[in-house]
Every structure is written in C-alpha cells, then in structure tokens.
C-alpha cells in the first residue's frame, strides 16, 4: 500500500477540498428555507393587520425583516457569500446594456448649434445605427462635406478638426464614466444584493441586478437624470438635539408596542436587540440590552462624544432600519420639516466585524444650489501641499449665488449630494467670489477623481439608452433549476446504470468517480465564485455523458490488452498508457472550443463554457487518477477487477 500513499492522500485532499467549498452552499440552502418560513409568517401577519398595504410597501417591510434576520446572524451572511452563485437566468433578475447616447451628448456640448448642425447631427445619428463608425466621426465628416469647421461648435477657434474630434471622443468616454458612477450610486441606494456593473468597450455599461422584483423601478433608476445639489449641513448642536428627540420618541413608542406582537414594527425592535451597541454613549451601568431598549436610535446611529460634528456612524445593515424609524409618524413629528437625514455615498470605514460603516448627516431639505451652474471640475494635486484637490468652476449666475451662500456660511459645511447621497461635505473657509472654488481634504487622488465625476454629473448629464434588456422572473428561474437538476439526476442514473451493466466492477468504479467529478465541478464553481447558469447546468449534464468517454477508452484498451493474454495488472498498466494520447488530444481540442466560447459569449453562455472546461479537467482527473488508483489498489489487494 505504501506505493499508493501519496496518491491516496492527494485524492482525499481534493475530495475534502471540494466538499469544504460546497458546504456553505448546503448551509445557505437550509438557512434560506428558514428565512423563507419566517418571511411567509411575517407576510401573513402584516397582511392581517394591514390588508390595504401596497405591494411595494409590503416588499420594503419584508426586505427590512430579511436584512435584520441576516444581520442578526453573521453566519447566514457568511455562508451566503460563499455559496455557489446562481446566474440571472436561475435566480431571476435583470440584465441591462446601456449605451451613452452620443448624439444627445453632442447636442448638449455644442455652442450655438444652428440648423445646419442639427441636420448634420440628425443624419449622423441615423447613419450610426447602421454602421460601426462612431457618431463623432460621422458628424465630423458631414460637416466637412458642408464646408463647416468643427471649431464653430466645439473647442476653440484655432483647433483643427482632428484635434476636436479626439477631444469629443474623450468627452464621450467621460460621459460613460459619469453614467457608471451615477448608476452605481443609485444601485447602492436601491439595496440590490450582488449587483454587477461593468463597462464594456468605450460606450457601453452592463448592469446585472439579480433577484429584482420590481424591474420597472430598476429601469427608471438607470435612466433618470442625475440631480446634483449643494445643501447646508446642520450645526452639531442642532443635529444632536434632533437625534436625541427621535431617540426619546422611539424609546417611548417601541416599549409600548413590544407587548403587542402582531405588528411588523415589533419584528424590528425585537431584532434590534441583538445588534451590537456602541459603547461610547452608553453609561457604564447599562447593559447592552438595556441601552438598546432605552436608546433605540443611538443603537443604530452611533455618535461618539469626542467628535466635533454630529455625523452619526451607521452600519450598512442598519440603513434600512433607520429609514423605517425615520418614517414613523411619532418620529416625523419631532424632526423639523425643513431638514432631513441623508447618508454618505461611500462607506467611510469598517467596524470590528468588517461591516461597512456609512455616515449619516442632517441637512437642509432645500438645496442652496443645484448642479446646473457648474461648468467644469478638475481633480488635481495641489503643487504646494501635494495633496489631492478638486477645482470647480461655475457660470456667472451660479457664481453670484455661490458668493452669497459661502459668505453667509463661513465655518459651516456644505454637502455635495448626487441623487440624495452625500459625496463630500467640505467646510466653507472663505467667501468665494468669481465662481472658482477649490475643494480639499480628499484622502487620495481616486477620491478626488470621484468627486470630479460627481460634480460634472450635475453639469453635464450623461444621456444613456437601454439597448438591450433581459429579465427573468423568479418563477421561471426556479423551474429551470428544478428541471435542470432533474435532468442531471436522470442523466447520471442512465449513464451510471449502463456503465455498471456493461463494464461490471470497472463500470461501478467509473460510476462512483462520476459523482466525484460532479462534486469537483460544483466545488470549483463555488471556490472561484463563478456563476452557475442554466446552460451551465446543461454543461454539467453533457459532462456526465462525455466524462465516461475517458473511462470507456481506457476500459476498451484494457480489454484489448487482456485479449492478448497479458495479466490483469499488466493490462491495466498498458491500457492506461495507450489510451493516454487519445484522451489528451481529444480533450484538449474540446477545451479549446470551451475557451473560444467563453471569449465570445455573454452571461449564461460563459457559464456553460466554464462548466464545460471545468468538467473536462475534472473528468480527466477522475479517470486518469482516481479510477486508476482504485483499480491499482484492487489489483494489489487481490480483489478481482472484472471488466465485462
């Protein structure tokens, strides 16, 4: 047995690894069942107590309950992150391809567009739908035909056409970056789990939103124009006072309701008990639980005494809960109507558990200024301090207002908000006249670049068109998963049964290694965080059929060798050796087509290519290593290897 020791260890280690990778998927499946049960129960309760609730309100409530359940038990979340990711076609959701509308962008960029320009743009736009040439190039050509120089509409008088064209192309790319940031910002707020937002080529953005139930709303989200606002941040004393009142109002009403178990809000307060409590505000004698009961608001919106501002730190999971709190009538009563709470767009740090933490600001509802007045923004490095800065320019109209606003609010903070989220809240240092402002205090140049994009988003919208959209309802996805796995099982039994009858013991071995092959495929998918799609399941089914190919080749060879009168051991050795070249050559060519398929395909097709490739690798390992090992061990132990 010694000679096999290394191989046995290797095989068991790999099997163990695959099982280890798959374990979270199993646990998550069990957890989901539990969560679903609780949600269904809650849904019935809510419907009983409030039959008139609209569907979107109900969805929101249930989402909060689900979030609380997930955050209450960190294990749920951990397993969820490690499970096999299902593609949109299996779990439902939508995929949207957006393209920046170049024609609209050019129309916005052009100075004094006359009818000649508009005509040229219109025909350029039409031509672009049929050709691969970009609108910018076509427009340049059209205007040239008419003898009009581009500098009449874009850039400066002295610039050559070519130069302007390359500048305009850069503007188009900028617009994609801007649209990307706007969309990312909104999707973050919308609370979609595991969204994918990626740039494709120079003008396109692909957005994938799994599990979206309200796709109309999502589409709206992607296409609306972005709103950039400058709003005054309330002073710390004022803000803290408001929060204290909210806390008191909540403590009072929550303790009242906690005896009544039928309302949805009770779920929230019950769940909030389990969340961690900030230690800074809690007087020492209070236990965490008591603190949570007495200060429900400060439990989720944490403020430390040391800080000079009254910006509260909020964990990502708690944002929904705070919004629910803030919408309660008794809380609404204590918040002055001219202010509201808003959140930072990006996390400002992480807490001890590695959860993202956001800042919550209290700002005026009425914006001081909206983004239309901004003409330009540039991220730079300040040559004097070598720290990142953003230079912002406003038009004359905006500059006048800006001078008044900054003059009246020196020492206060102004929040720069895009679509309701705060990207930066700089302190006004001095009265700014002339419309040129400098914003500093960014941690790095990337942050400054982000602010530049945000500021430009207000000035120059990035018009996007949806050029492709696909959505799959959750029920079709579920059906697909079920029928997919049904076919996997049936396919496996058919093939396994056949192999056992035809090759007897050797066939039994290969049926067994087939299970390990499937385990490997799934384990690799989970381990590399790859996505399983419906064509991916088809890939697994196909692998089952083709995986036995290597076994068949080997067994047929062994039979031939046995027929020449060799011993079993010698036949196995030369059978494997002779089948080797055929197995490798044929599988490498199939692997190549898998790579090409992966390169050319999108979404589901890539999933198929991936499982096909992993399947090839896994089945080769199973046939050449595991089957071989089992046969060798059997021969060494004197167990008869029958091969039909």
Q: How far is the CB of 478 from other proteins (least distance, A)?
A: 11
CB atoms under 10 Å from CB of 51, counted, come to 7
* CA gap 483, 531 in Å, rounded: 18
Q: How far is the CB of 516 from other proteins (least distance, A)?
A: 17
Q: How far is the CB of 457 from other proteins (least distance, A)?
A: 13
- Residue with Cβ nearer other proteins (289 or 478): 478
Six token digits for residue 599: 């390169």
- Residue with Cβ nearer other proteins (419 or 452): 419
- Residue with Cβ nearer other proteins (547 or 630): 547
How far is Cα of residue 623 from the mean position of the Cα atoms in its chain?
38
- Residue with Cβ nearer other proteins (451 or 538): 538
* CA gap 480, 441 in Å, rounded: 51
Please state whether 616 falls in left (phi above 0), alpha (psi between -120 and 50) or beta.
alpha
Q: How far is the CB of 618 from other proteins (least distance, A)?
A: 16
- Residue with Cβ nearer other proteins (3 or 585): 585
Residue 98: its H or E element: strand 93-100
- Residue with Cβ nearer other proteins (309 or 590): 590
Q: How far is the CB of 229 from other proteins (least distance, A)?
A: 8
* CA gap 374, 383 in Å, rounded: 24
Residue with tokens 């011993």: 567
* Alpha carbon separation from 366 to 182, 194, 229, 232, 459 (Å, rounded): 21, 33, 9, 9, 19
* CA gap 186, 195 in Å, rounded: 11
Q: How far is the CB of 467 from other proteins (least distance, A)?
A: 4
Sort strands 388-394 and 374-381 into parallel, antiparallel or unpaired: antiparallel
Q: Which 8-state DSSP code applies to residue 44?
A: H
* Alpha carbon separation from 119 to 56, 146, 464 (Å, rounded): 45, 11, 21
| Nearest in space to 59 (alpha carbons), one of 67, 69, 49 | 67
- Residue with Cβ nearer other proteins (277 or 460): 460
Q: How far is the CB of 588 from other proteins (least distance, A)?
A: 7
Which residues are CB-neighbours of 620 under 8 A, at least 6 positions away? Answer: 550, 583, 587
- Residue with Cβ nearer other proteins (13 or 577): 577
Q: How far is the CB of 500 from other proteins (least distance, A)?
A: 11
Q: How far is the CB of 465 from other proteins (least distance, A)?
A: 8
Q: How far is the CB of 82 from other proteins (least distance, A)?
A: 28
- Residue with Cβ nearer other proteins (88 or 268): 88
- Residue with Cβ nearer other proteins (336 or 434): 336
DSSP-H helix ranges across 296-393: 296-300, 319-327, 329-334
Which residues are CB-neighbours of 311 under 8 A, at least 6 positions away? Answer: 303, 359, 360, 361, 425
- Residue with Cβ nearer other proteins (65 or 128): 128
422 φ/ψ angles, rounded to the nearest 5 degrees:
-85, 125
3-state secondary structure labels for all residues of 187-208: HHHHCCCCCEEEEECCCEEEEE
Q: How far is the CB of 468 from other proteins (least distance, A)?
A: 5
Q: How far is the CB of 490 from other proteins (least distance, A)?
A: 4
- Kindly write down the DSSP assignment for every residue of 542-598, as one continuous string: HHHHHHHHHHHHHHHHHHHHHHTT--HHHHHHHHHHHHHHHHHHHHHHHHHHHHHHH
Residue 389: its H or E element: strand 388-394
Q: How far is the CB of 527 from other proteins (least distance, A)?
A: 24
- Residue with Cβ nearer other proteins (393 or 611): 611
- Kindly write down the DSSP assignment for every residue of 342-370, as one continuous string: EEESS--EE-TTS-EEEEEEEEESS-SEE
First to last CA, the chain: 26
- Residue with Cβ nearer other proteins (420 or 441): 420
């Amino acid at each position: 047995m010694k000679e096999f020791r290394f191989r046995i260890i290797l095989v068991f280690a790999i099997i163990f690894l695959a099982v280890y990778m798959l374990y979270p998927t199993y646990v998550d499946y069990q957890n989901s069942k539990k969560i679903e049960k609780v949600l269904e129960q809650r849904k019935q309760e809510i419907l009983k107590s409030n039959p008139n609730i609209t569907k979107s309100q109900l969805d929101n409530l249930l989402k909060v309950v689900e979030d609380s359940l997930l955050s209450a038990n960190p294990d749920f979340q951990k397993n969820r992150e490690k499970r096999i990711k299902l593609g949109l076609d299996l779990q439902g959701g939508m995929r949207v391809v957006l393209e920046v509308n170049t024609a609209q962008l050019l129309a916005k960029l052009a100075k004094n567009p006359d009818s000649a320009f508009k005509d040229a743009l219109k025909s350029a736009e039409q031509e672009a739908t049929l050709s691969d040439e970009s609108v910018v190039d076509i427009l340049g050509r059209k205007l040239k035909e008419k003898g009009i120089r581009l500098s009449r509409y874009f850039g400066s008088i002295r610039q050559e056409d070519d130069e302007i064209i390359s500048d305009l192309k850069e503007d188009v790319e900028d617009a994609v970056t801007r649209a990307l940031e706007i969309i990312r910002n909104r999707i973050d707020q919308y609370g979609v789990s595991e969204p994918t937002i990626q740039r494709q080529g120079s003008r396109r953005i692909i957005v994938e939103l799994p599990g979206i139930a309200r796709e109309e709303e999502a589409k709206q989200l992607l296409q609306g124009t972005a709103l950039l606002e400058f709003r005054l941040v309330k002073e710390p004393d004022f803000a803290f006072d408001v929060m204290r009142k909210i806390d008191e109002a909540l403590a009072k009403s929550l303790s009242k309701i906690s005896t009544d178990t039928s309302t949805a809000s009770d779920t929230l307060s019950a769940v909030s008990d389990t969340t961690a409590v900030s230690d800074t505000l809690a007087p020492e004698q209070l236990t965490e639980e008591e603190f949570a009961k007495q200060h429900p608001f400060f439990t989720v919106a944490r403020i430390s005494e040391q800080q000079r501002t009254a910006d509260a730190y909020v964990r990502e999971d708690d944002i929904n809960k705070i919004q629910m709190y803030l919408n309660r009538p008794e809380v609404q009563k204590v918040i002055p109507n001219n202010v509201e709470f808003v959140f930072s767009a990006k996390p400002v740090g992480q807490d001890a558990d590695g959860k993202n933490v956001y800042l919550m600001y209290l700002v005026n509802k009425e914006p001081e200024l909206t983004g239309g007045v901004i003409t330009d923004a540039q991220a730079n490095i300040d040559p004097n301090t070598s720290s990142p800065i953003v230079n912002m320019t406003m038009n004359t109209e905006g500059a006048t207002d800006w001078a008044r606003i900054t003059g009246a609010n020196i020492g206060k903070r102004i929040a720069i908000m895009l679509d309701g989220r705060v990207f930066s809240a700089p302190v006004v240092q001095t009265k700014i006249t002339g419309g040129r402002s400098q914003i500093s205090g960014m941690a790095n140049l990337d942050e400054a670049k982000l602010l530049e994009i945000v500021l430009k988003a207000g000035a120059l919208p990035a018009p996007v068109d949806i050029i492709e959209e696909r959505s799959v309802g959750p029920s079709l996805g579920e059906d697909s998963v079920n029928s997919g796995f049904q076919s996997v099982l049936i396919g496996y039994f058919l093939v396994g049964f056949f192999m056992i009858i035809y090759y007897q013991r050797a066939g039994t071995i290969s049926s067994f290694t087939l299970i390990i092959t499937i385990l490997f495929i799934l384990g690799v998918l989970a381990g590399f965080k790859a996505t399983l799609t419906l064509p991916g399941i088809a890939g697994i089914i196909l692998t089952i059929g083709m995986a036995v190919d290597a076994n068949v080749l080997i067994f047929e060879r062994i039979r031939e060798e046995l027929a020449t009168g060799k011993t079993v051991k010698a036949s196995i050795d030369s059978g494997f050796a002779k089948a080797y070249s055929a197995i490798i050559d044929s599988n490498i060519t199939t692997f190549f087509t898998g790579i090409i398929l992966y390169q050319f395909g999108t979404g589901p097709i890539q999933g198929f290519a991936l499982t096909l490739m992993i399947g090839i690798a896994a089945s080769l390992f199973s046939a050449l290593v595991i089957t071989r090992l089992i046969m060798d061990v059997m021969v060494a132990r004197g167990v008869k290897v029958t091969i039909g």
